[in-house]
């Protein structure tokens, strides 16, 4: 990275799973650098979903380095997720034609419930599949798989965890970490946000800000996708030997399967931050 910016820049790793992101500072300039970001980043920047893209450079080895403004701010807290600015931002994302067009040009095909189901289930090992809550959930998923088809396909983020939302000091809101972006049912993002962060009695008022009614069909689709996401979380934490977190999601799955509609309170989400 020093070869690109110069020796006068202070460059430190930004963390993350890939090790391909860095923070850079020189005097009053601050940048967020990433190696081999998706071309999707350009339209995210143009739409104001992520901090502004400053430049893109291709290296001799074929790698592409992108630089974005590094903005002072904070991650959202679980309690912030019921705010209107979150609902409005997610509405903007789900209704963005430029974002949908770019993902389509990148040959992202709209994901159907069956494909998402099989991508998750094939990763589950026998021990996870033997858990009573998982077995009960599998019955539900199979029973309803044909009932959750939705003609509406939008750009979904896929992980609207509060840690992926950045609120800057001048009150600009961004949603970052788009590596899992997909074209799919908006219920994927909506279900995760509502089930994780809002009590059931607040769902309709939040959806009013987003611009969608809380129909029985939407309830079913959200529950179906949240159930799948929870199975994936259980297996992921097991693979990492994070057994306490795995147990947390098993308990959540039990609540999800035992009640028609259930949500995790923000105090529970604090444990996952």
**Nearest C-alpha neighbor of 183 from the set 138, 153, 158, 159:** 153
* Final residue belonging to a domain, choices 21, 46, 70: 70
* Same domain, yes or no: 37 and 159: no
* Same domain, yes or no: 175 and 65: no
* Final residue belonging to a domain, choices 11, 39, 70: 70
Q: In what order do the strands lie in the sheet with 173-175?
A: 73-75, 165-168, 173-175
* Same domain, yes or no: 11 and 53: yes
Q: Are the C-beta atoms of residues 220 and 100 closer than 8 Å to each other?
A: no
Give the pLDDT of residue 70: 85
* Same domain, yes or no: 102 and 207: yes
Total number of domains in the chain: 2
> Is 159 known to be catalytic?
yes
Give exposure, 149-180, as e/b (b: 16+ Cβ within 10 Å): eeeebbbbbbbbbbbbbbbeeeeebbbbbbee
CATH of the domain at 66: 3.30.200.20
- Can you give the C-alpha Rg of the chain in angstroms? 20
pLDDT, greater one: 131 or 30: 131
* Same domain, yes or no: 154 and 250: yes
Tell me the pLDDT band of 1, cut-offs 50, 70 and 90. Answer: low
pTM of the model: 0.88
Q: Are the C-beta atoms of residues 238 and 127 closer than 8 Å to each other?
A: yes
* Same domain, yes or no: 65 and 138: no
**Nearest C-alpha neighbor of 155 from the set 229, 99, 226:** 99
* Same domain, yes or no: 122 and 185: yes
pLDDT, greater one: 242 or 266: 242
- Domain that residue 36 falls in: 2-70
Which DSSP symbol is given to 172? -
Spot the catalytic one: 159, 185, 202, 208.
Answer: 159
* Same domain, yes or no: 117 and 28: no
Backbone angles phi and psi of 157, in degrees to 5? -75, -45
CATH of the domain at 176: 3.90.1200.10
* Same domain, yes or no: 51 and 163: no
For the chain, percent of residues with pLDDT exceeding 90: 70
* Same domain, yes or no: 86 and 28: no
* Same domain, yes or no: 95 and 63: no
* Same domain, yes or no: 33 and 139: no
Tens-digit pLDDT profile for residues 117-170: 999 999 999 999 999 999 999 999 999 999 999 999 999 999 999 999 999 999
Tell me the pLDDT band of 228, cut-offs 50, 70 and 90. Answer: very high
* Final residue belonging to a domain, choices 18, 51, 70: 70
Q: CA 159, 163, 164 angle in degrees (round to 5)?
A: 50
Tens-digit pLDDT profile for residues 84-113: 999 999 999 999 999 999 999 998 999 999
């Amino acid at each position: 990275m020093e070869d690109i910016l110069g020796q006068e820049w202070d460059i430190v790793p930004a963390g993350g799973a890939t090790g391909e992101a860095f923070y850079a500072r020189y005097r009053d300039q601050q940048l967020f650098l990433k190696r081999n970001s998706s071309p999707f980043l350009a339209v995210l920047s143009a739409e104001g979903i992520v901090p502004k893209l400053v430049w893109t450079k291709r290296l001799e080895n074929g790698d592409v380095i992108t630089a974005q403004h590094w903005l002072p701010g904070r991650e959202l807290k679980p309690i912030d997720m019921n705010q209107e600015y979150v609902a409005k931002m997610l509405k903007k994302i789900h209704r963005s034609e430029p974002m949908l067009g770019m993902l389509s040009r990148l040959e992202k095909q709209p994901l159907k419930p069956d494909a998402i189901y099989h991508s998750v289930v094939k990763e589950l090992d026998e021990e996870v599949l033997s858990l009573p809550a998982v077995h009960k959930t599998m019955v539900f998923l199979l029973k309803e798989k044909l009932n959750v088809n939705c003609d509406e396909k939008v750009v979904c983020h896929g992980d609207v965890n509060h840690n992926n939302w950045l609120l800057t000091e001048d009150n600009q809101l961004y949603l970052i970490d788009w590596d899992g972006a997909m074209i799919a049912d908006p219920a994927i993002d909506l279900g995760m946000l509502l089930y994780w962060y809002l009590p059931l009695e607040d769902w309709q008022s939040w959806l009013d800000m987003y611009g969608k009614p809380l129909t029985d069909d939407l309830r079913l689709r959200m529950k179906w996708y949240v159930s799948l996401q929870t199975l994936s979380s259980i297996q992921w934490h097991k693979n990492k030997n994070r057994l306490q977190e795995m147990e947390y999601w098993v308990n959540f799955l039990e609540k999800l399967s035992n009640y028609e509609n259930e949500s995790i309170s923000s105090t529970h989400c604090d444990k996952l931050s």
